[in-house]
Structure 1
Amino acid sequence: MTEHSSTSFSRRALLGAFAATTLTAAPTFSKAAGFLRGSGDIRRLKMYSARTGEKIDMIYWIEGDYIKDAVKELTWFMRDWRTNDVKNIDMRTMDIMTAAHNLMDVNEPYMLLSGYRSPKTNAMLRARSKGVAKNSLHLKGQAADLRLASRSVSQMARAASSCRAGGVGRYSGSNFVHMDCGPVRSWGR
């Protein structure tokens, strides 16, 4: 056996053993997600929250299957930090975030500004700003507001838009990009 074959076999054996013990079947949409060019055989999200001080570096998908415990940890990380309310984060949103991150070719983690928002938090934010939607996809766990120090709002928005998989909002004045798995659309500057 050549060195290349041995290395390939070892990786496959390791992934297979790992998959057999911790993976759950992926929803149908993940199997046909052509928009995820660049997301890879392994999907990984790296984020931190300046609000809570928490950091996460999580592989949540391997070769077609979501890892249930990893998705659960990402969902907790993306909770409403003001109330600690949790809602399952739509895996399509995680996939869009991952694909955009990979397309930007960065190693830096996202700064998560907002993931899930409870109705109470969304109402409070709406009272403070006209830019907060009454029926925000944040309420459904289908959106994230993100920032990268090494990339501009325009660079992040272009990467997310190239996925053609959901909404992308540019908030240059506040230095963040909104990504969601709703209808394909874009807004902001």
Structure 2
Amino acid sequence: MTITTDLIYFRYLTEEDAPALLSLMHRNRAHFEPFTITRPDTFYTLEEQTARIRMWDENRSADKSYNFGLFFKENDELIGELSLFHVAREPAHKCMMGYCLDHAYQGKGIMSQAARLALDFAFDEAGFHRVEAGVMPHNVGSIRVLEKAGFQREGVARKNVKINGVWQDHVMFAILEEDERPRS
């Protein structure tokens, strides 16, 4: 399955994408680390990236998460990841959205486009009623991505996620299926 705009597309990753995923993680290790859970050095191996893709396939088959690679249309370069995870069906029909983008491409509106595409998938294909996202308060770029995609700020989840060994607050956002949102 491929979802596309004029500039980007995203699709499920395959094991053949593991080298490109590893390259993305290596290029952005220092950039991603302040925003992610602590990752051991083994995370930055081809074996681990292949294992992640296999796990994503299993989780998708079990309706637990939907993980995508984000690519430039013109050259098929893997530039990011986007996931819908913590899937809860009856009675909530909701999930969380997470994403990362190569630091070289940030600030260009790419992730805002990708978020809108992901919402189209979440509501129109996966049948979710609500999509949530949490962002550390100092991550202004990510907050802007969510706002541009139509998410509404709902509050602060205090000490919500342990990032690099420290419990961090997260500003919580959500969007409902019936909410007005920009289309991709």
Same fold (TM over 0.5): no
- Higher strand content, 1 or 2: 2
Find the structure with the greater CA-based Rg: 1
Name the TM-score, length of structure 2 as normaliser: 0.30
Instruction: Please report the TM-score for the alignment, with normalisation by the length of structure 1.
Output: 0.29
